[in-house]
Amino acid sequence: MPTVGARKNPRPGSFAGYRTYISRLQALARTPDQGGIWNEHAVAALNGQASTMLRKTASRHLRRKHGTFFTGTELGARLLSRTGITHHEGFFYDPACGMGDLLLAAARTLPLGATLSETLELWGRRLAGTDLQPEFIDGTKARLVLLARQRLGQTRPGDSTIASLFPKIRIGNGLLERDTYKRATTLLMNPPFGLARTLSGCTWAGGRVSMAATFMVTALERSRPGTEVLAILPDVLRAGSFSEQWRERISELAEVHLVEPYGVFDETTDIDVFVLRLVRRDANLKKSKRWPALYKTRAASVSDCFDVHVGRVVPHRDKKSGPEHPYIHPRSVPAWRTLRELAETRKHKGLVYKAPFVVIRRTSRPGHPYRATATVIAGKASVAVENHLIVCEPKDKTLKSCLHLMRQLKSNRVNRFLNRRICCRHLTVAAVGAIPYTTTTKRTERKA
């Protein structure tokens, strides 16, 4: 994940504390191989060390502010393995390259020259990248030299200075770039995942949206037809209901060839991601290969029989004013229970929900024993519900339907459905509404 676009013109050098490590990489790239020690250091530098050192030298706040979380070898290799193009003469561009993990993955697929200098010149013609942080640009170049030496078995460094190599890898803002998008045959993307205001003229969203979403649309709008895009993106863009217009815009601009859930980004970054492969459309051709449906079934779904909403109380933002109501939040609703009496109350002048209804905890991810942990709220009270709960109001207004839904949610069938449908750590209204649901009958009651 890069450091591009966090602000319109952020000051370069925010990661100056990382410079000592970059100097070590540059020195290693210039050091003759004196046996196994050099190779051990090179292997570490090419496989995860860059991310480890960043965590040691930059605070989590700084890394989050700039969206700086590096891809890693395994995920980068997985992304490149999903290509559908044979890159004999390909030109790769990573508009937010960070320390170059995706460019390294691309370089591993490129041919070698007869010598180190010939290899570096060849790769320099076919690899491009931009990032706002000069430390990362220098680090990317040094790591590419290490990779070339390692692949060639080259014991001695070349004569060129590292800074003069790879002229198309440079300081720059990928959101402002234009010409390089036009030249690229393949875009490699792991853009920032934070939120920012939409760019001027945006038609598919308003206000603050995922920077990754903005980055993808910008890249597609500026690339030429036939350009392949390989991307690592937050899973909420794949499955979130608020991302539906973004997915529609992507389908207008590109053929969608692969949407593949991956899981947690890495062991230190608690974000689920997916792998995406697109090919930029020709505007004159018929639109095909649109974004795939999110595991729709012919059976009835929860939204057919329940009105599904997110609770309306935002506890640290909403003032305690208005009528006093019974109040529930995730800590006050025991799992898989039916509550007839609610101990807490709260003044709330916004929307409340009339019992009976089912609440489901929004916090949920693959690996949880139950993806849709539920509680039935019985009675006839009007209840204020915190926004970390999803409310399912039965359209027939009966407690029987609520109990029936809770039994179905506590099943492996629902777990399997949600594990396919959404990987990010919060359930969405769309995902809950899409859960297959069987209506109450004597037969299904016996099976339950």
CA-nearest of 158, 134, 142, 136 to 107 is 142
**pLDDT score, position 1:** 57
Parts of the chain belonging to CATH 3.90.220.20:
302-447
**pLDDT score, position 10:** 39
**pLDDT score, position 13:** 59
Strand order in the sheet with 169-171: 169-171, 127-131, 92-94, 186-189, 228-234, 269-280, 254-266
**pLDDT score, position 88:** 63
**pLDDT score, position 362:** 94
Q: Write out pLDDT tens, residues 54-87.
A: 888 888 778 777 777 788 788 888 999 988 776 6
CA-nearest of 119, 129, 116 to 30 is 116
Dihedral sign from CA coordinates of 318, 324, 325, 328 = positive
Q: Write out pLDDT tens, residues 96-127.
A: 999 999 999 999 999 999 999 999 999 999 99
What distances in angstroms separate CA 232 from CA 236, 249, 259, one per listed residue? 12, 18, 10
Token duo for residue 229: 């895009």
Element housing 104 (H / E): helix 101-107
**pLDDT score, position 33:** 81
**pLDDT score, position 298:** 54
**pLDDT score, position 48:** 87
| Bond before 12 cis per omega within 30 degrees | no
Task: Please give the distance of CA 173 from its chain centroid, rounded to a whole number.
Answer: 20
Parts of the chain belonging to CATH 3.40.50.150:
16-280
Phi and psi based region of residue 16 (left: phi greater than 0; alpha: psi -120 to 50; beta: remaining) = alpha
**pLDDT score, position 235:** 87
Looking at domain 16-280, its CATH superfamily turns out to be Vaccinia Virus protein VP39 (3.40.50.150)
**pLDDT score, position 154:** 82
Q: Which amino acid appears at position 33 of this protein?
A: D
Fold annotation for 302-447? Adenine-n6-DNA-methyltransferase TaqI; Chain A, domain 2 (3.90.220)
- Could you tell me the mean pLDDT of each successive run of 10 residues in the chain, 448 residues long? 42 75 94 84 91 86 76 87 77 95 94 94 96 94 96 84 93 94 96 85 85 94 96 88 88 94 76 92 84 67 94 93 96 96 95 97 87 96 96 96 96 90 84 87 41
Burial class (CB in 10 A: 0-12, 13-18, 19+), 372: buried
